[in-house]
Structure 1
Amino acid sequence: MTDIDTQFLRSLFDEEGSLHTAGRTALYRLYGLEGLLYVGISTCPLTRIRTHLQQQSWGPRVIGIQIDYPDDAHAAEREAVHAERPLHNVIFNGEAAPPPPDRAARLRAELAAQQRRLEELRAAVPESTTHLRLILRGITAAQTKIAKLARDAEGAEAAQLPPGRRPKRTKP
């Protein structure tokens, strides 16, 4: 593979390893041997699909993926789930398709979610390097305490065993 090919392939993905979507919402379909397993939407489709593959009981059965970028991904998802009946979608899989959500209401809900995310990010940023050092010191202290508690728990469990079955203690 040439450097130009490598650069092109890298340009398709962001830092998290997901496809660049330029803010567009993708509609994705996951297929198994038994047919369509799941339909979903995401602005980071590969990241979302990876989550399904790792966390859903049906994830290992996925053998095919289709990603599209419709103009209105929310409506496309609703229609696809209602018409195609994926095996593992719960929402929109009833007898009658739900009414389409009001576009303005959907945008207001997305705006509120993004504002909450921004506030969470702002709250997570230390105010100064001193705050960052304090946070790191707290993490180190917590790790030390966890290690000590783990050793103490192992010791307590070993003490409950009969004398002949106790493991020999090794120095850390």
Structure 2
Amino acid sequence: MKDIDTQFLRGLFDEEGSLHAAGRTALYRLYGLEGLLYVGISTSPLTRIRTHLREQPWGARVIAVRIDYPDHAEAAERETVQAERPLYNVVFNGATPPPPPDPVARLRVRLAAHQRRLEEFEAAVPESTTHLRLLVRGIASAKSAIARLTEEIAVTEAAQRSAANG
């Protein structure tokens, strides 16, 4: 590798070995087979993710990572946690968050989260045969959840119509 290439590659990372983001705050998501495990924000997302993988009891279950750079990271984190309900977030993910008042609306929020998860699984590029197997299992799980929720929405809407007409 030429010196200029080495300098370029080093310039992509900060002193801690994280991707250099010019001071921007990243929103990161950590996924396991069961879905979204954790959402966080950091100016050094790779360093922060490594810390989670090392120190959290659920760190070994992480199979995928997604990093975005939204304009308003703090607001994006709050909205993401409230909408996607990661398993291990405490902040913004209280034990009893206010659900949408309508049961069908609650189901549609869950359906949208599963559809986003499916899209992310389908867009992932497998890094190994093990990773491929995990992705295939994740896709099958997401499709199953989408089918269940779609059926539950139909049943709930029919019950609401019947109650309104009855």
State the TM-score bracket (shorter-chain normalisation): 0.5 to 0.7
**Structure 1 consecutive aligned stretches of length 4 or more whose deviation exceeds 6 Å:** none
Residues 38-57 of structure 1 deviation map (CA, whole Å, 9 limit, x = unaligned): 00001111111111000000
TM-fit CA distance, 1:96: 3.1
Alignment correspondent of 2:7: 7
TM-score (norm 1): 0.52
2:57 aligns with 57
Deviation, structure 1 residue 37:
0.5
Q: Could you list the runs of 5+ residues in structure 2 that have no partner in the other structure?
A: 100-166
Match of 1:96 in 2: 98
The gaps in structure 1 that reach 5 residues or longer are 98-172
Q: How does 1:15-164 map to 2 (within 5 A)?
A: 15-94=15-94, 95-96=97-98
Q: How far off its partner does 1:35 sit?
A: 0.9
**TM-score of the aligned structures, taking structure 2 as reference length:** 0.54
Aligned-residue identity in percent:
79
Q: Secondary structure at the match of 2:20?
A: coil
Give distance in 2, aligned partners of 1:26 and 1:52.
15
In structure 2, relative to structure 1, the CA distance for the partners of 1:2 and 1:63 (3 Å cut) is: farther
Q: Which has the larger radius of gyration?
A: 1
Q: How far apart in 1 are the matches of 2:48 and 2:20?
A: 13
Query: Secondary structure of the residue that 1:31 maps to in structure 2?
Result: strand
CA distance in 2, matches of 1:96, 1:89: 16
Equivalent residue of 2:53, what SS? helix
